[in-house]
Amino acid sequence: MLFSGYIFDVEGTLVDSVRQNLLSLQESLDDFGVTVPYNVLQLYSGLDGDQALQLVAPALDVAERKRLMEAKSKLYEAKYLRSVKAFTGVRDVFEALTKRGGRIALATDCKGPELKHYLSLLNVDDLIDSIACGDDVEHGKPDPRLVGLALRKLGVAAGQAVMIGDTPYDAEAAVGAGTAAAGLLTGGFAREALTEAGCFVVAGELCDLLTCLENESPRVVLLREAPPKAGPEKLG
């Protein structure tokens, strides 16, 4: 086994929710008089919500961004949440990891009813050792503190853990926290975007993850310097 700790993102990694999240954000932006193409929003999927709004809607002030995110959350819960499905094979992967002695944590920006619903879909509560969520930290990914909190809750050294996510922001958070990063293509990002952000391995789907982890070595990622934190560029 390559690692003793496995930290999983949730949205786009364990549950198929990227499209629903982006549509609810797009509709909420429209309600605030801001039109943003879906493919532009896709670029910032998984990025801390306030940071994403600063990039796609720079004219909005702090209070407006807060109101928009609250409106988006309500719309998502009311219109889209029930259409979210778990990806195939999550329990099988978690069982395989725990049978090898691995400890599992979730590190996700989501919280409240969303997280509760996702956990009900996944049916893996008995296999999860700890959860770090949006209720625990002020800033979302790529800020590394969420991953760092998951590490501390797991009681696993950073060099013995891997963060699995579907966005470059997951990978950047992992590298910032000192863990290895593995990527999945289920979030809509290209393989190159994930590897450039720090993923030492990229799998097509979660069910392919174990084979990929067994066939690749994380040592290059763990020994190298963290990539620069330039972040996404502003639009326009």
3-41: pLDDT as tens digits: 999 999 999 999 999 999 999 999 999 999 999 999 999
pTM, full prediction:
0.89
How far apart, in whole angstroms, are the C-alpha atoms of residue 202 and residue 204?
A: 7
Average pLDDT over every residue of 106-134: 93
Q: What does the pLDDT read at residue 218? A: 59
Average pLDDT over every residue of 47-59: 96
Candidates 146, 114, 133, 143; CA nearest to 52 is: 143
Q: Which domains does the chain have, with CATH numbers?
A: 5-16+85-223 (3.40.50.1000), 18-83 (1.10.150)
Q: Are 95 and 102 spatial neighbours (Cβ–Cβ below 8 Å)?
A: no
* Residue matched to tokens 């503190």: 145
What is the identity of the amino acid at 52?
Answer: A
Q: Does residue 158 register a pLDDT over 50?
A: yes
Contacts of the segment 214-217: beta carbons below 8 A, 24+ positions apart = 214/2, 217/2
Asked if the bond preceding 142 is cis, omega within 30° of 0, the reply is yes
